[in-house]
Amino acid sequence: MEMNKSVFVTGATNGTGFAIAARFAAEGYDVFIGSRRLADAEAAAQKITERYGVFAKGYETKIGDEVNVKAIFADIGSRGYLLDALVLNAANLGIGQVSLEVDMKDFMEVYATNVGWNFMMAREAARQMKEKGKGAIVFITSNSAVRVTENRCAYCSSKSAILAMSKSFAVDWGKYGIRSNCVLPGMIKTERWQNNVNNTKYCLPNYTPLHDIADFEDVANAAWYLGSEQSRNTTGAELVVDGGMLAQLTPNINRRLWEE
């Protein structure tokens, strides 16, 4: 039986990850959702099925656990799927890690998640994609992989490592028809962002050339492009979704936005 196309999205119970899952579902993909909490993954999967009429299933992702990673892909395979796309959205944000003081355990945990676990997930997905003869891996990294923010050494450098990891996959697995690309969001309008008074008080979107930051759907559209046949000749690439922030040396501030 010919299966629907399918995608696995990590950290996809809400926000950016859910928007990515929904974007693929809207295109008719069956969707596998990863979360550290099985009940939340299952609830998100149910929402996807109700809204888009595609098959969806939630999985508990145990960060850094290779047995769990293999079990997830074995289960997907046993259902007759060979994954078309993997979107690695979940991340340890490593917030507030002051470089002179950070505990090495906390520092390494950021790497274990953002680099090590993402590697395991990508490799296992690639084994299915190799069997299929094609597939797309999309990393949601960050523009802070290129220009950093204060007290985020582990996070920024791990996101930077992802850029090189993605290029390695592009080079190593291109011969199997597997593509690997990165989305580099800038600030996203998450609940965390909305609740941080500094963002509204200092009107941070005003600092980007477009005077706006990303909606979930902006990141989801980029992930869809890189994860689908739309980008069939693109691999090892980076797509920045940051309102133009990386392009500028100093911000060209629209003062009217503050005064209104």
Ligand X SMILES: NC(=O)c1ccc[n+]([C@@H]2O[C@H](COP(=O)([O-])OP(=O)(O)OC[C@H]3O[C@@H](n4cnc5c(N)ncnc54)[C@H](OP(=O)(O)O)[C@@H]3O)[C@@H](O)[C@H]2O)c1
Where along the sequence are the contacts to ligand X (CB under 6 A)? 11, 13, 15-17, 35-37, 40, 63, 89-93, 113, 140, 142, 185, 187-188, 190, 193
Rg of the chain over all Cα atoms, to the nearest angstrom: 18
Sequence-distant (6+) residues with CB within 8 A of 216 are 15, 16, 18, 19, 188, 189
Residues 201, 51: Cα–Cα separation, whole Å: 36
Rounded to the nearest whole angstrom, what is the least distance from the CB of residue 134 to ligand X in the complex? Answer: 25
Q: Is residue 132 helix, strand or coil?
A: helix
Residues 208, 246: Cα–Cα separation, whole Å: 9
Cβ proximity of 106 and 92 under 8 Å = no
Closer residue to ligand X (CB): 89 or 157: 89
Rounded to the nearest whole angstrom, what is the least distance from the CB of residue 101 to ligand X in the complex? Answer: 19
Sequence-distant (6+) residues with CB within 8 A of 95 are 151, 152, 155
Rounded to the nearest whole angstrom, what is the least distance from the CB of residue 19 to ligand X in the complex? Answer: 9
Rounded to the nearest whole angstrom, what is the least distance from the CB of residue 105 to ligand X in the complex? Answer: 13
Rounded to the nearest whole angstrom, what is the least distance from the CB of residue 85 to ligand X in the complex? Answer: 16
Rounded to the nearest whole angstrom, what is the least distance from the CB of residue 26 to ligand X in the complex? Answer: 19
Closer residue to ligand X (CB): 62 or 123: 62
Residue in the shown chain whose Cβ atom is closest to ligand X:
11
Closer residue to ligand X (CB): 1 or 98: 98
Q: Which of 248, 253, 238 is nearest to 147 (CA)?
A: 248
Q: In what order do the strands lie in the sheet with 238-241?
A: 56-60, 30-35, 6-10, 85-88, 135-140, 178-185, 238-241
Report CA torsion sign: 100, 106, 112, 115: negative
Closer residue to ligand X (CB): 71 or 177: 71
Closer residue to ligand X (CB): 176 or 193: 193
Rounded to the nearest whole angstrom, what is the least distance from the CB of residue 95 to ligand X in the complex? Answer: 9
Closer residue to ligand X (CB): 40 or 238: 40
Residue 259 CB burial class (10 angstroms; 0-12, 13-18, ≥19): exposed
Closer residue to ligand X (CB): 105 or 255: 105
